[in-house]
């Protein structure tokens, strides 16, 4: 029974530390917002902070740090599909299906 109380105390300490870290990262997010970075850099920093915070929440509060290995494979597969779905619009921007390969320019059409 004594080890159970010690284990609970350790878990509570872990939760408090992660909660404090989340609070610190939230403060960092607000501070970075006040700096007014360039948009690509601001997005990169925001995504890095959000990834750190989400990782902490998933590992500790969702107890993924205690799960079996197949959970991590499912998470990795989900992340891979997410990247694929994000890349689909990039691949369709350069879609040239149905367009002539050598389309005349507007200047060449205007000369005739």
Q: How far is CA 33 from CA 27, 39, 42, 48, 68, in A?
A: 10, 11, 8, 14, 38
Locus of tokens 């004594």: 2
| Model confidence pLDDT, tens digit, residues 7-60 | 888 889 999 999 999 999 999 999 998 998 898 898 899 999 999 999 899 888
Count of CA atoms in the C-beta half-sphere (13 A) of 8: 5
Domain that holds residue 37: 2-111
Q: How far is CA 40 from CA 4, 44, 49, 52, in A?
A: 49, 6, 14, 19
Q: How far apart are CA 34 and CA 88, in angstroms?
A: 33
How many domains would you assign to the chain? Answer: 1
- pLDDT for 109 equals 65
Question: pTM score > 0.75 for this model?
Answer: no
DSSP codes of every residue in 92-112 = HHT--TTS-TTPPPHHHHHH-
């Amino acid at each position: 029974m004594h080890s159970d109380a010690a284990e609970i105390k350790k878990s509570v300490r872990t939760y408090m530390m992660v909660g404090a870290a989340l609070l610190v990262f939230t403060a960092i997010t607000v501070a970075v917002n006040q700096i007014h970075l360039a948009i690509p850099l601001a997005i990169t920093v925001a995504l890095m902070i959000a990834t750190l915070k989400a990782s902490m929440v998933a590992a500790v509060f969702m107890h993924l740090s205690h799960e079996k290995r197949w959970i991590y494979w499912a998470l990795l597969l989900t992340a891979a599909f997410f990247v694929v779905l994000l890349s689909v619009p990039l691949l369709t921007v350069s879609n040239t299906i149905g367009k002539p390969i050598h389309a005349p320019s507007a200047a060449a059409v205007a000369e005739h």
